[in-house]
Structure 1
Amino acid sequence: MGRKVTVATCALNQWALDFDGNLERILRSIEIAKQKGARYRLGPELEICGYGCSDHYYESDTLLHSFQVLAKLLESPVTQDIICDVGMPVMHRNVRYNCRVIFLNKKILLIRPKMALANTGNYREMRWFTPWSRSRHVEEYFPPRMIQEITVQESVPFGDAVLATLDTCIGSEICEELWTPVSPHIEMGIDGVEIFTNSSASHHVLRKANTRVELVNFATAKNGGIYVMANQKGCDGDRLYYDGCAMISMNGDTVAQGLQFSLDDVEVLTATLDLEDVRSYRAEISSRNLAGSRVTPYHRIKVNFALSCFDDVCTPVSEPIQWRYHSPEEEISLGPACWLWDYLRRSKQGGFLLPLSGGVDSSSAACVVYSMCLQVCYAVQNGNQSVLDDVRKIVNDEAYTPKEPQELCGRVLTTCYMASENSSQETCNRARCLAEEIGSYHININIDGAVKAVWSIFNAVTGRLPQYKVHGGSATENMALQNVQARIRMVLAYLFAQLSLWSRGMPGGLLVLGTSNVDESLRGYFTKYDCSSADINPIGGIRKTDLISFIQYCIDNFHLTSLRSVVSAPPTAELEPLKKGEVTQLDEEDMGMTYAELSVYGKLRKIAKSGPYTMFCKLITMWKDICTPREVASKVKHFFRMYSINRHKMTILTPSYHAADYSPDDNRFDLRPFLYNTAWSWQFRCIDEQVSKVESKEVNSKLEDVA
């Protein structure tokens, strides 16, 4: 009697609406799964059309092409003699559902619709889909004629059911359902389901991987069973990076771990497990067995197919492993680098242009590109032909093979230092030294001529010429003078991105990289449409303190010694005049708050859902050892004034790699007004009243102590 089953899960780099590429990757994953002996293959969520189709889900074309791909899968010899579990949108009774379509040997076994939709943060599934709300209910679904002709099935089961094979029982969850308080695997496990599957499109956020892993392992720790998770990977055409981490767990332990960051478009993970280990684990959980004796049973789809073989006594099984997590610095090094690679190869551009100022932010962006080049070289050395093909297309050289990351960096990254009369020699040197170490093609540009030309136009029209504050000008003049410099840099960045390759006799254009971090975006500490405006931003979702740690990581691991002077230098915009050749303008002084404080404000505002008053109430206890209540009130008021004054800037933030749950990105993630009453009169009055109460209590307490 067979008892050992081999199951396969995968991480696929699917792309929204790339039906040809998505089909190819699905077929390749099934082929690999079969080669590894698997009898069941699970793929990521909505893998046929790609998860990130967004409003394209409204289009009948998306449904049509998904069924056309499904028809190709059903007909393919590759999909025979293995249960295939694929994801796609399905319209049932004029309602659109996010579904798993499970089939075997040209027969659809079950269409299982998603029951809990992801509808927070970056996710808007309720906009396009409806959750299936009828637990344990199954209906008839009449597939399109193109499918009926292949399967010879007039109708197929549609709903919340499980598969009963000859040797075990399999139940499905879809992404968000694992994260809900009452996940389907709980009741399914009590009803005797032994293998749970989860197809996901779960994106990367710094320090998030452990949450996902713990949820999977915990799913089988109390109830026993095998849990198989698939996930999308790569850039699906938006700000998110789906970070793979396909995994298989049994009885609370991980038995197979997939890569979190990889340039491989197809990764297949298999494990061979003994069903009797599940049954013996469950045997002594009396509470589970009591619940199982009175559970409402699931509808079982009978499948005349076994996942195990009769003669499997000598087949080795997968043993528990310890999950290996990346440090946050490694995540910054790998996640944005893989995201940039996908964006570069899929946009068919010739590389990147990065305004390199010599500060932490732009240096971090340069290091991410360098890390990308490292990952590409590793992949090529390991025989990844698709990566090599993409490299050759990008550099327009069919014979080119990258050997060293510096060499590749020189081909795909152009860095430019845009100096003005307010720039210091120190920042110029730091930018040049880093460019030399990573191998980028580096250019120096002086923007003074362009800035003076703009001011000459203004002077000719108005007859007036503004002055910096240090020269007797007003705050309005001072800000305008700074903004012109910043915006001229943006214009020149795009000019050189379009024409620098042409000027060197090479085809193509470059993508401009932005360099604003998440804290500066939250505070609005940047000029609207300045050089922070770009095509994409690899660090826009990363806080300043993490970027400083990342710079140190690059010093230690990439041996970029020039970064030592970068990490030790105080952050500065260098937009105001120097004093005896030295920088006097410092970012934290300009902002009126530190980067560490900004991170705290961001988390409280977004994650803890705090308005001004609640933020004040939380901070008077958090900062009680370093600030008085009145000082806390002053800091909170200053943050909200600056935040609300600059909120309009967040509507035009460069599309950034999403790495922080307190990102102020206005696109889908942080939906708030951009025109505020910046006085916050009611809210600030509540804070002032509370400060007075706290101070009165402190005075009375001191008087009582004296008495």
Structure 2
Amino acid sequence: MGRKVTLATCSINQWALDFEGNLERILKSIEIAKAHGARYRLGSELEICGYGCADHFHESDTLLHSFQVLRKLLESPVTQDIICDVGMPVMHRNVRYNCRVVFLNRKILLIRPKMMMANNGNHREMRWFSPWNQLRHVEDYYLPRMIQEVTGQDTVPFGDCVLSTNDTCIGSEICAELWSSRSPHIQMGLDGVEIFTNASASHHELRKADQRVNLIKSATTKSGGIYLYANQRGCDGDRVYYDGCAMVAINGDIVAQGAQFSLNDVEVITATLDLEDVRSYRGEACQPDMESEHKTCHRVKVDFSLSSGDDIYLPTHQPITWPFHTPEEEISLGPACWLWDYLRRSGQAGFLLPLSGGVDSSSTACVVHSMCVLLCQAIEDGNSQVLEDVRRVVGDDSYRPEHPKELCGRIFTTCYMASENSSKDTCSRAKELANQIGSTHMNINIDMAVKGILGIFSVVTGSWPKFRAHGGSHRENLALQNVQARVRMVLAYLFAQLSLWARGKPGGLLVLGSANVDESLTGYFTKYDCSSADINPIGGISKTDLKSFLLYCVEHFQLSALTGILAAPPTAELEPLTDGQVSQTDEVDMGMTYSELSVIGRLRKISKCGPFSMFCKLLHMWKDALSPTEVAQKVKHFFRMYSVNRHKMTTVTPSYHAESYSPDDNRFDHRPFLYNTRWTWQFRCIDNQIPVLRVPLPVAAPGGTSWQGGVKDAALKAEMLNTGSDQSERTKCPPHPGGNWDL
């Protein structure tokens, strides 16, 4: 009949500049696609060199090596008799483009440059590439001599064009073009293109997968057609994790789906579909629009068919329901896969984590445990690459893990770093969790090191600082907290480098961090303390989500030790105990709750709010719990602390990117780190609004606040009406509170 086509798309774990490994994985994916009867294979964005090359795209070597890999692909017998669609950078007329190169049987059919750049958030494509802005325009591209020698071609079509086979028409989109309001698939569909392809490098964020699925379903619901989506997988050498989700859709239905999180380096998804289903759908739903005037696509013709003449008995794929992961499952799986890529590619022998017995460090420990569960499951499923990598990490060619807990003991070391300010409860909680996940656990007392450092200071200055509880000043109190935190960082790296050596084993350990995204927002950590590490799997995750994740781990992994950890108030344990009990808590130190911080973080980054616009939004969001005065105080307190501590983001540990309000200065949040912390003009705008507010009196909760007209009493009103000089208390930068605030 010649109407059914078998198509392949894939998720491949490519690595920036790993040309050898990238070539092997591309060839393997093509081999699998052919074995399943596919006549067209789509790969991920920039798969030849890796998407995350960043400023290496400026180097001529990256272009050279990409063409060398392309030559290997053209020459390989694996790539014969299948249309291959690969991604690589190409320079045309001295301009660098992010391109798709489509070839068949040692001939390049076309080169399609990306037309819409991803240039926000984690992406800076305009730094390295130019968009192809010439709609429906095609030029001759002169091939390098190394490619001419293989193909016998001098030039090939370069530009906004589609591929016309004997039986259908195929058009490309590249990643961000799907998300654009001017997506190319709209006009291509109206011009009769029946198969759309999208090569992506789309990173994981919590609760994001459904956006991709809905966009693809919507694209083919509106105008019909088949949509192939390929995506990068794994850690490409940076903070993001590309989470696969390769898929095939037709006429608004998903018919084939790849895994979102997987340890398989190569995953190929194939689907057999009937072109007549597209034609029938369009004939009913899209006929009037397809007759309208539009500029036609430039078609590159190839004497090749995706279908065969005897496909009448070939079954086609039917619609499926996409099973989305919960946020807790995403936290369990995404950072775990990211950690595994870092470990196996770093050449280290495992991880070391300072385990305090609190929510954050326990969450990091649970992510490592989840990684071990995934590794054991992959080995049990016959993944030889994972087994080979595990053996290399542990330094034993005959090793085969029997249980996640046993594997955890081989590659994960935890240590509780006690001081005289530590409680027995946190120590026992850390030990119990370590026992349940199987990590090699140590108890380390840091008092000797702290006293030694303070002794040096005393010899030089003749002074010995005291905690506030013992009569010391705020500056003394803060310095004594910070020296403990920084000693823990020094000891963490010492034990990471030498603990395996002391046990007669080879290799070193990667130090894991455990500061969450909310603490990074306000700088609630000591610069260069034990939050400073090699990598941090939870640095982009909110405290609220981490608590939900630990509840998930209690049930999913049977880690009962987490119950006590969740019940305990978060604390840094850097100040003296009161009657053996913790007297310092994180939320009191920060002056706001973690849930409040999450809301503020989203307003600051996603809604682009400065102090005044944030106050205006929170005034309504929190009207049932806080008065305008209290809202103003929280907003001003946040921005003071944010600006005072913003410099810490320049040294924050590289963290798994999981939230769109991440404050990571190095890649995601490009804002200054030296501020006027008084925010004089902005705070005055807030203060000027409070006296004139006329908001209905809310019903006060027990112990809550009643208010009318925006002020509680005459004294507060008088204070807020004072909008004069910078000398008023409300515009002064207050002294740091206790805990981890650190200049």
* TM-score interval, smaller chain: over 0.9
Query: For 2:365, what is the secondary structure of its paired residue?
Result: helix
- Residue 234 (structure 1) aligns with: 234
- Tell me which amino acid in the other structure corresponds to 2:370: S
- Residue 151 (structure 1) aligns with: 151
C-alpha distance in 1 between matches for 2:540 and 2:383: 30
C-alpha distance in 1 between matches for 2:65 and 2:131: 22
8 Å CA contact 2:628–2:710 kept in 1: the answer is no
C-alpha distance in 2 between matches for 1:447 and 1:696: 53
Query: Residue by residue, what CA displacement relative to the aligned partner does 1:77-116 show, whole Å, maximum 9, x if unpaired?
Result: 0000000000000000000000000000000000000000
Query: Residue by residue, what CA displacement relative to the aligned partner does 1:290-324 show, whole Å, maximum 9, x if unpaired?
Result: 44342211110011000001110100000000001
- Residue 172 (structure 2) aligns with: 172
1:364 aligns with 2:368: no
- Residue 580 (structure 1) aligns with: 579
C-alpha distance in 2 between matches for 1:301 and 1:456: 78
Query: Residue by residue, what CA displacement relative to the aligned partner does 1:35-73 show, whole Å, maximum 9, x if unpaired?
Result: 000000000000000000000000000000000000000
Question: What does 1:286-685 align with in structure 2 at a 5 Å threshold?
Answer: 286=286, 288-685=287-684
- Residue 114 (structure 2) aligns with: 114
8 Å CA contact 1:190–1:289 kept in 2: the answer is no
8 Å CA contact 2:209–2:324 kept in 1: the answer is yes
8 Å CA contact 1:9–1:268 kept in 2: the answer is yes
C-alpha distance in 1 between matches for 2:312 and 2:392: 50
Offset, 1:403: 1.2
- Tell me which amino acid in the other structure corresponds to 1:151: T
Query: For 2:88, what is the secondary structure of its paired residue?
Result: strand
C-alpha distance in 1 between matches for 2:156 and 2:595: 57
C-alpha distance in 2 between matches for 1:581 and 1:397: 46
- Tell me which amino acid in the other structure corresponds to 1:655: P
- Residue 277 (structure 1) aligns with: 277
1:12 aligns with 2:7: no
Offset, 1:289: 3.5
Question: What does 1:690-705 align with in structure 2 at a 5 Å threshold?
Answer: 690-695=689-694
Query: For 1:222, what is the secondary structure of its paired residue?
Result: helix
- Residue 705 (structure 1) aligns with: none
> What RMSD in Å do the two structures reach over aligned CA positions?
1.1
Change (3 A) 1:219 1:700: closer
- Tell me which amino acid in the other structure corresponds to 1:333: S
| Structure 2 unaligned blocks of 5 or more | 698-707, 712-743
C-alpha distance in 1 between matches for 2:686 and 2:677: 15
Query: For 2:312, what is the secondary structure of its paired residue?
Result: coil
C-alpha distance in 1 between matches for 2:397 and 2:299: 54
C-alpha distance in 1 between matches for 2:224 and 2:463: 78
8 Å CA contact 1:39–1:307 kept in 2: the answer is yes
C-alpha distance in 2 between matches for 1:122 and 1:177: 16
C-alpha distance in 1 between matches for 2:511 and 2:423: 24
Query: For 1:540, what is the secondary structure of its paired residue?
Result: coil
- Tell me which amino acid in the other structure corresponds to 2:242: Y
8 Å CA contact 2:369–2:408 kept in 1: the answer is yes
C-alpha distance in 2 between matches for 1:28 and 1:609: 44
- Tell me which amino acid in the other structure corresponds to 1:65: H
8 Å CA contact 2:161–2:171 kept in 1: the answer is yes
8 Å CA contact 1:192–1:292 kept in 2: the answer is no
- Tell me which amino acid in the other structure corresponds to 1:478: N
- Tell me which amino acid in the other structure corresponds to 2:380: Q
Offset, 1:697: 9.3
Query: Residue by residue, what CA displacement relative to the aligned partner does 1:228-277 show, whole Å, maximum 9, x if unpaired?
Result: 00000000000000000000000001001100000000000000000000
- Tell me which amino acid in the other structure corresponds to 1:5: V
- Tell me which amino acid in the other structure corresponds to 1:342: D
TM-score by length of 2: 0.94
- Residue 72 (structure 2) aligns with: 72
8 Å CA contact 2:175–2:198 kept in 1: the answer is yes
Offset, 1:186: 0.1
**How many residues end up aligned between the 2 structures?**
701
Offset, 1:580: 1.1
- Tell me which amino acid in the other structure corresponds to 2:525: F
TM-score by length of 1: 0.98
C-alpha distance in 1 between matches for 2:644 and 2:709: 38
- Tell me which amino acid in the other structure corresponds to 1:261: F
- Tell me which amino acid in the other structure corresponds to 2:8: A
C-alpha distance in 2 between matches for 1:305 and 1:502: 61
What is the percent sequence identity of the aligned residues? 72
Query: For 1:284, what is the secondary structure of its paired residue?
Result: helix
Query: Residue by residue, what CA displacement relative to the aligned partner does 1:169-196 show, whole Å, maximum 9, x if unpaired?
Result: 0000000000000100000000000000
C-alpha distance in 2 between matches for 1:56 and 1:31: 30
Question: What does 1:203-214 align with in structure 2 at a 5 Å threshold?
Answer: 203-214=203-214
- Tell me which amino acid in the other structure corresponds to 1:408: L
Offset, 1:644: 0.6
Query: For 2:291, what is the secondary structure of its paired residue?
Result: helix
Question: What does 1:242-257 align with in structure 2 at a 5 Å threshold?
Answer: 242-257=242-257
Change (3 A) 1:167 1:689: same
C-alpha distance in 2 between matches for 1:292 and 1:36: 37
